[in-house]
Amino acid sequence: MSLPRLAAAVATACCLAVLPLATAGPAGASGGPGVPDRPLRQLAADDRLRIGTAVDTSALADDADYRRLTGGQFSTVTPENVMKWEVTEPRQGEYDYAAADRLVDFAHRHGQKVRGHVLVWHNQLPSWLTSGNFTADQLREILHRHITDTVRHFKGRVWQWDVVNEAFNDDGTLRDSIWLRELGPGYIADAFRWAHEADPRALLFYNDYNTEWTGPKSDAVYDLVRRLRAEGVPVDGVGFQGHLGIQYGLPTGMAANFARFDRLGLATAVTEADVRMEMPADAEKLATQAEGYRLLLDACLRTRHCVSFTVWGFTDKYSWVPSTFPGEGAANLYDEDYRPKPAYRALQAELTGRARPASAG
């Protein structure tokens, strides 16, 4: 991204229209000594940061508390599932953007920006695609059309797109996916070029997990985006998902890792933060969890062009964790009854009174 575009990205993270906002939750406890009990989005606006959540659109439709906190606490939203290929193109060439459109409208009404998730991934693909007997040329054209049609549909309404998601293994080799097998590694650059053609103003991100610290995987992402930018491929940013588990110990060196991407002239973002634990939860585990969230936010706030910090859902009432990691859970900022947890207070405190490095441009 050119410097003016990067500066514009940071500027849109700042200066949010602040709407009448909700309290922290039904329990509405104070933010702790010296910490004002202001909604996260207001506090983040002071730091020129957008704070976001993934949104479960069924909960948004059915649960008034969920709706109130989604609109009141966050200044950007990511559809947790409804912009994924299996939902948006369930039959070849037949698109269904209805659920995603409803979320984009909600975001618009609440002064929120939208992170589009996701264009190229190995998961949640429709069966017509995975079990079809397509030639490489046909598959390339299918990918081109899907990206073009989807990005055009949301043109001007999506702030950041996760263009390519989780293309690497933890050892830094490219993941064996339908895209790599059939199209070769060039699919990544193609995807960014096609997305840029469809909406030249959207910020285009590479997004992955276990890349928050330095190691073979984040080195591989770093080498990829450096090479793509040198080749003039329109990559604007790197997303660090931020799925942590306290049983593994909390990561170190995240700010230094984010900084090297920043020095490439890229925007960065924390895109899917949650901090899970082995159940049952207790006060000590919740305190460690709070520190995990705090460390992720601190790394972002220290990074000049870290433009948004998104949590992957905000309440334990709706979370992907228990079904994916049996015996684990309690990964979110609010408990199942919408009581704010220590992690919520830690984010409030971390956002309060932080002087961020001045942005370039």
Show which residues are catalytic: 166, 272
Token representation of residue 330: 């309690």
CA–CA separation, 195 vs 119, rounded Å? 9
Which residues, in sequence order, are CB contacts of 191 under 8 Å at separation 6+? 119, 120, 143, 147, 163, 164
Any contact of residue 272 with ligand 9MR (CB under 6 A)? yes
Q: CB of residue 30 vs ligand 9MR: minimum separation in angstroms?
A: 31
Q: How far is the CB of 116 from ligand 9MR (least distance, A)?
A: 12
Under rule CB under 6 A, which residues in 168-187 are in contact with ligand 9MR? none
CB 205 to ligand 9MR: min, Å: 12
Nearer to ligand 9MR, 124 or 173 (CB): 124
Considering the complex, what minimum distance in angstroms separates the CB of residue 29 from ligand 9MR? 28
Q: How many residues bind ligand 9MR (CB under 6 A)?
A: 8
Q: Does 252 bind ligand 9MR (CB under 6 A)?
A: no
Q: Is 81 in the site for ligand 9MR (CB under 6 A)?
A: yes
Stretch 283-342 residues interacting with ligand 9MR (CB under 6 A): 320
The correct pick among 47, 80, 199, 350 for binding ligand 9MR (CB under 6 A) is 80
Q: Is 205 in the site for ligand 9MR (CB under 6 A)?
A: no
Out of 124, 130, 138, 252, which residue is the one contacting ligand 9MR (CB under 6 A)? 124
Specify the residue, 81 or 211, whose C-beta has the smaller distance to ligand 9MR. 81
Residue pair 253/222 in contact (Cβ under 8 Å)? The answer is no
Of the two residues 47 and 212, which places its CB atom closer to ligand 9MR in the complex? 212
CB of 233 to ligand 9MR, least distance (A): 22
Q: Judged by CB, which is closer to ligand 9MR: 80, or 236?
A: 80
The tokens of 295 are what? 């460390």
Using CB positions, name the residue nearest to ligand 9MR.
320
Phi and psi torsions of 237, nearest 5°: -160, 165
The residues near 193 (Cβ < 8 Å, ≥ 6 apart) are 233, 234
- Minimum CB–partner distance for residue 78 and ligand 9MR (Å): 9
Among 2, 30, 92, 123, indicate the residue that binds ligand 9MR (CB under 6 A).
123
Residues 93-122 that bind ligand 9MR (CB under 6 A): none
Q: How far lies 159's CA from each of 8, 12, 164, 201, 212, in Å?
A: 11, 9, 16, 8, 22
In the list 76, 241, 268, 310, the residue contacting ligand 9MR (rule: CB under 6 A) is 241
For residues 122 and 229, which CB has a smaller minimum distance to ligand 9MR in the complex? 122
Site for ligand 9MR in 126-165 (CB under 6 A): 165
- Residue placing its CB nearer to ligand 9MR in the complex, 89 or 272: 272
**In terms of CB distance, is 59 or 255 closer to ligand 9MR?**
59
| Omega of the bond leading into 118 within 30 degrees of 0 (cis) | yes
C-alpha to C-alpha distances, 37 to 17, 74, 345, nearest whole angstrom: 19, 15, 9
Locus of tokens 């990005």? 151
CB of 208 to ligand 9MR, least distance (A): 8
- Pairing state between β 328-329 and 267-278: antiparallel
Would you call 272 exposed, middle or buried from its count of C-beta atoms within 10 A (0-12, 13-18, 19+)?
buried
> Which residues of the shown chain bind ligand 9MR in the complex (CB under 6 A)?
80-81, 123-124, 165, 241, 272, 320
